[in-house]
Amino acid sequence: MNSAFIFPGQGSQSVGMGLSFYKNSSKAKDLLDHASEYCKLDFKYLLFEENENLNKSEFTQMAIVLNSLMAYEALKEQVNIEAKYSLGHSLGEFSALATQGAFNFLDVIALVNKRGQFMQEDCSKIEAGMMVVLGLEDRVVENLCQKALSEGKNIFAANYNCDGQIVVAGLKADLAFYESEFKNAGAKRAMLLNMSVASHCPLLKNASLKLIKELEPILKENFENVVSNVNAKAYNDKNQALALLSDQLVKPVLYKQSIKAIDSEVDFYIEFGANVLKGLNKKITQKETYALSKIEDIDEILKVIK
């Protein structure tokens, strides 16, 4: 049976995530301990205890990637399963790349710390944000974004999560102004998210340029198939990765398109570190998604692949 590995992005963090992997998997424990030493950061405190850093972008991104990789290590410790494809939602693409051999695990954890810093730097002076829009067709949201741009407002389609759910990014004031526009067009809901960055839109151009400079020296020349957020197609070498990841911060996440693109070639999905994408997948595919967010979840996965 063919599986696809999927990895969550920012917003999936919670206090205590990864604790069951740390306590019950020697590989997961070693990864967290080595990451703490490598990054000079107490990851046990960041992940397992109440603290204000967990919701700061540069630390959030490290915590989520580390947690996903700990879940991956815990599963691999019990069964040698490989993915036909691996993909992530936004930040999750970096976790996917690491598990497919594109990055050293410690390097990618340090990298996303800088990614978060660069994103925050671009958005700190412009009051950026994101809004989820429910119940509208893609083309309606896209047309409203174009209308906003023609009026001098910064609003962009950022995440295509599933049919009827798109996240838009831009300036908070512009998003708030357009809330009624989305609702008047028939949206069931248009709600500002608790985010201070505008991911996957042109407002992050400088962050994207800075990130590519950090990527170049640590990306491996070749790796196994990863499906790009940018074009929903698989790639597996450094040159492709540099081109696609340079666009990843400034173009929308094509998550639902990515799942649809590979769905006929896989039998089931495994989400590492959370159960956020499992919920989206239920609205995209009839294939089963197994969420590995705690050590006990491995038992259900083992029943499928043994």
- Any idea which residues carry the catalytic annotation? 90, 200
Contact between 90 and 159 under an 8 Å Cβ cutoff? The reply is yes
Rounded Cα distance, 248 and 53, in Å = 25
Tokens of 242: 């540099």
Asked if residues 55 and 62 have their Cβ atoms less than 8 Å apart, the reply is no
Chain centre to alpha carbon of residue 72: 15
What's the token pair of residue 49? 């205890």
Please state, in angstroms and rounded to a whole number, the distance separating the CA atoms of residues 39 and 134.
Answer: 39
Q: Residue 203 carries which DSSP code?
A: G
What are the residues whose beta carbons fall under 8 Å from the beta carbon of 279, sequence distance 6 or more? none
Query: What is the rounded CA–CA span in Å between residue 109 and residue 113?
Result: 7
Q: Mark 81-102 as b/e (b = at least 16 C-beta within 10 Å).
A: bebbbbbbbbbbbbbbbbbbeb
Which phi and psi (to 5°) does residue 78 adopt? -105, -25
Q: Which structure tokens are listed for 275?
A: 């159960």
Q: Say how far residue 219 (Cα) sits from the centre of its chain.
A: 18
**Distant-in-sequence, close-in-space partners of 264: CB < 8 Å, separation ≥ 6:** none
